[in-house]
Each structure stands twice: as structure tokens, then as C-alpha cells.
Amino acid sequence: MPQSGYGFVALRLVVAAIWINAGIQKLAGLAAGQPNGLVRILFGSSMAIPLTYFFTLLEILGAVALILGLLVRLASVWGVIEFVIICTSLALEGNIGAIAGLNPLMLTASLVLLLYGSPKLSLDGLIAKHMKISP
């Protein structure tokens, strides 16, 4: 584990901000009657609206968890799953330009947080310190 964990705090907060922004955009799209296009493609139009609500809720709850530093690794699992699916679908569509954008960076950030967690300035770190275990 690196000596200073404050870089992980910054990474956690940036990922959370991006997830909240994306969640708000998805909710605005749902309010306008436009569910997430990828969800519609993967699961069909009958399940697009309920699953978009569900995935958006997971994204926003994951962002809140990252901001608080609570269950960082569990929230990161969602990020890894989400961005593997997004990057894979973009690659299968042949949209290589989109793969070079934000999605692979978010996948990498989620992997880093999954592997290292974020014990500094987090509830996970406080709980680990209280229980005297390694976070």
C-alpha cells in the first residue's frame, strides 16, 4: 500500500462526482421518457425503464458510498461491472473513438479503488481503526 492514501481520496471523490453527474443525466432522460439506450439494447424495451431506474439508483448510491468512504470496494465492484459492459459494447459496435474517452478511465479508477480501497478520510478507515484491522 502506498504511503500516502490521499490520492485515493481524490480519486474516490472524482469518481463519485462523475457518477452523480451521470445519474442526474439518466434521471433527466427518464423524466423526458428516454431510458438509457444501452439498457434498452441489452435488456429490451419492456425492461428499459425499470432497469434504468435500478442502475441509476445503484450508481447514485455508489457515489454516496464513495464520498463517505463507506464500502468503497463494494461500490467499486459496481463501477468495474458497469464500465466493462460499456467498454465491451462500444468495442463490439466498432466505436473505437468512444473507447478512448472517459469510460476506460472510469474502469481503471474503479479497479484501483477495488484493489486498494481508500482508508484515509473514510468511514471504512475509521471502522478499521476502531476494530484494529487493516482496511
pLDDT at residue 31, as a whole number: 86
In a domain, 49, yes or no: yes
Of 113 and 35, the one with more pLDDT: 113
In a domain, 134, yes or no: no
In a domain, 110, yes or no: yes
Q: Is the pLDDT of residue 69 over 70?
A: yes
In a domain, 1, yes or no: no
Instruction: Look up the domain containing 83 and give its range.
Output: 6-126
In a domain, 61, yes or no: yes
In a domain, 104, yes or no: yes
Q: What is the count of structural domains for the chain?
A: 1
In a domain, 115, yes or no: yes
pLDDT at residue 92, as a whole number: 80
pLDDT band at 98 (very low <50, low <70, confident <90, very high): low
What phi and psi values does residue 70 have, to the nearest 5 degrees?
Answer: -110, 125
pLDDT band at 91 (very low <50, low <70, confident <90, very high): confident
How far apart CA 46 and CA 28 sit, in angstroms, is 19
In a domain, 90, yes or no: yes
- Selection from 12-16, 26-30, 97-101, 114-118 with the highest mean pLDDT: 12-16
Picking from 26-40, 77-91, 102-116, which range would have the lowest pLDDT averaged per residue? 26-40
For range 77-96, the mean pLDDT? 84
pLDDT at residue 43, as a whole number: 81
How far apart CA 17 and CA 13 sit, in angstroms, is 6
pTM of the entire predicted model:
0.82
